[in-house]
Amino acid sequence: MLANLPPVTRALLLTNVGVFLVQQLAGQMLLQWFALWPPGTIFQPWQLVTYAFLHNDFVHILFNMFALYMFGTPLERHWGSRRYTAFYFICVVTAALTQLTVSVFQHSDAPTLGASGGIFGLLLAFAMYFPRVRIMLLFPPIPLPAWAFVTLYALLEVFLGVTGNEAGVAHFAHLGGMLGAAAVILFWRAIDGMAKR
C-alpha cells in the first residue's frame, strides 16, 4: 500500500509513525523540546513545525494518519509534490500561530501537538477541489458531499472552540489550519488566473 502513495504523503506518514515510536521510548523529553509551547513558557521557533509530528496516543495518530492518507493522496496527485509540500507546512504553521494567539488570551501553559492543523488544511482543500466527492460519516453513517462535510465540521470546531466543551483539543489550531489553507488556495487561484491572461 505504501508503495502506491505519492512520495510526500508517504514520507509524512512514515515520519509521523517513526516519531510516535520514538515518543514511546523518549517520553516527555520529546514533548519538552518539540511540542508547541505557549509564549512565556519554553517556546522555541522550531516548535511551529515540530509539534505536528508528535501525538498524544495511538488513537490520535491513527485518525490523523488515516485523514492524511485519505485527503493528502488525491491532493498531492492533483497539485504535484512541490506545491503539496508547501501547502501542508503553511497550514501547519498557520495552525500553530493561531493556537499561540489563542493561548495568550486564554492564559494557557499547555502544549499543543499533533498533525491536525495540517490535516484540517488538507480537508478544506479537498472540499474546494473535489466538492462533490462523497465522504461517509462515522456517526451516523451518512454520506455527504465533501463541501457539506467540511462546512459542518468547521462549524462544529468553531462551536467547540468557543464554548470549550471539549477540553484538551486544540480546536483553534484546526481552524487556523483551515484559514491558512483558504489563504493559500485563494492566492494560488489569483496567481494562476493572472498567468492565463
User: Quick one: cell of 167?
Assistant: 477540553
Could you tell me where the beta strands, DSSP code E, fall in the chain?
134-136, 143-145
Quote the pTM value.
0.92
pLDDT digits (tens, 9 = 90+) for 70-97: 999 999 999 999 999 999 999 999 999 9
Could you list the residue range(s) of the whole structural domain that residue 43 is in?
2-195
The beta-strand segments (E) located in 76-165 are 134-136, 143-145
pLDDT at residue number 63:
92
Contact 121, 129 (CB under 8 A): no
pLDDT at 75: 97
Please, how many CA atoms are within 13 Å of residue 57, restricted to the half-sphere of its CB? 3
- Asked if 145 and 132 touch (Cβ cutoff 8 Å), the reply is yes
Half-sphere exposure in the Cβ direction for 103 (13 Å, CA)? 23
The pLDDT assigned to 169 comes to 80
Which stretches of the chain drop beneath a pLDDT of 50?
A: none
C-alpha–C-alpha distance, residues 188 and 194, integer Å: 10
Question: What does the pLDDT read at residue 107?
Answer: 80
The residue among 177, 131, 171 whose CA lies nearest residue 150 is: 131
* Nearest partner of 183 among 125, 127, 97, 142, judged by Cα: 125
b/e sequence 71-91, b meaning 16+ C-beta within 10 Å: bbbbbbeebeeeebbebbbbb
**Count of the separate structural domains present in the chain:** 1
pLDDT of the residue at 165: 66
In the prediction, which pLDDT does 138 show? 67
Q: What is the pLDDT of residue 139?
A: 65
Say which residue the cell 516527555 belongs to: 28
Which pLDDT score is estimated for 193?
A: 77
**Phi, psi dihedral angles at 145 (to 5 degrees):** -65, 150
CATH number of the domain bearing residue 61:
1.20.1540.10
